[in-house]
Structure 1
Amino acid sequence: MEILRSLVENSRITISQMSKEIDIPDATISNRLKKLEKNAIKQYTLILNPETLGLKVTAIIIIQTESEKHENVEKELSVLEEVSEVYSISGEYDILIKVWAHSIHELNRIVNSKIRSVDGVEDLTEMIVMERVKEGVVPPMGPEK
């Protein structure tokens, strides 16, 4: 857990820096890191600032699907570059997605020409994000020891 916490805090940390911080030998960290990369670490990535890329609009969209076409809708939405997240959910709606756009006009085009045109989409509700209060990519890892 200490190795994961260290990587979450600074994914560019070197093994030797991590070794000094958590007081574990380099070789041990290297071996544990290899094991973590097989099952716990899905990928190394970076988080971009969307506003510096001109992505000023974020929308959360919940979608109702035709039950027999649900998997198709998931696949089709997953390949759209404007869609960063796709979740199959329970309740009145079946899928939740996160969409990025440069403007409201572009979001409207994405919704009408790309999302609504996916075979199996019955209905959807769009919610525009007004403010990002907390946004992260790492699940909680439990208390420190």
Structure 2
Amino acid sequence: MQTIFVQIKCELGKAYDVADSAVETLEEVSEVHSISGQYDLMMKCYLGDEADIGHFVTQRLQTLPGVKDTFTIITFKAFT
């Protein structure tokens, strides 16, 4: 399982719509948080080991209505 975090910059007034759409339509999206700073949302996503991260981000996340820009963080190890 691969874990990635994707920060999303939304069109003005669309952050809640993007968050709702991601949670409702993408099973890989585990959590969506509204955040401060240059981006509006942070999504935590779980992808299968063989999944192509680039394709997921460009074809599934960036094409959500209202998404303006993304910044992807690939994780290595989770500490509990």
Coarse TM-score class (shorter-chain normalised): 0.7 to 0.9
Determine which structure has more spread, i.e. the larger CA radius of gyration.
1
Q: Which letter maps to 1:121?
A: V
5+ unaligned residues in a row in structure 1: which ranges? 1-54, 135-145
Q: Secondary structure at the match of 1:113?
A: helix
Pick from 61, 65, 87: which aligns with 2:10?
A: 65
- What RMSD, in angstroms, separates the aligned Cα atoms of the two structures? 1.4
5+ unaligned residues in a row in structure 2: which ranges? none
Aligned to 1:127: 73
Aligned to 2:28: 82
TM (normalized to structure 1)?
0.51
Q: Which has the higher contact order (CA 8 A, sep 6+)?
A: 2
TM (normalized to structure 2)?
0.87
| Cα deviation, residue 110, structure 1 | 1.6
Identical columns (%):
30
- Between the aligned partners of 2:30 and 2:55, the Cα distance in structure 1 is 17
Contact kept in structure 2, 1:100 and 1:107, CA below 8 Å:
no
- Between the aligned partners of 1:122 and 1:93, the Cα distance in structure 2 is 10
The number of residues matched between the two structures is: 79
| Cα deviation, residue 75, structure 1 | 0.7
Q: Secondary structure at the match of 1:90?
A: coil
Aligned to 2:60: 114
Contact kept in structure 2, 1:60 and 1:99, CA below 8 Å:
yes
- Between the aligned partners of 1:83 and 1:69, the Cα distance in structure 2 is 18
- Between the aligned partners of 1:59 and 1:111, the Cα distance in structure 2 is 10
Name the structure with the higher helix share: 1
Q: Which letter maps to 1:65?
A: C
Name the structure with the higher strand share: 2
Q: Secondary structure at the match of 1:75?
A: helix
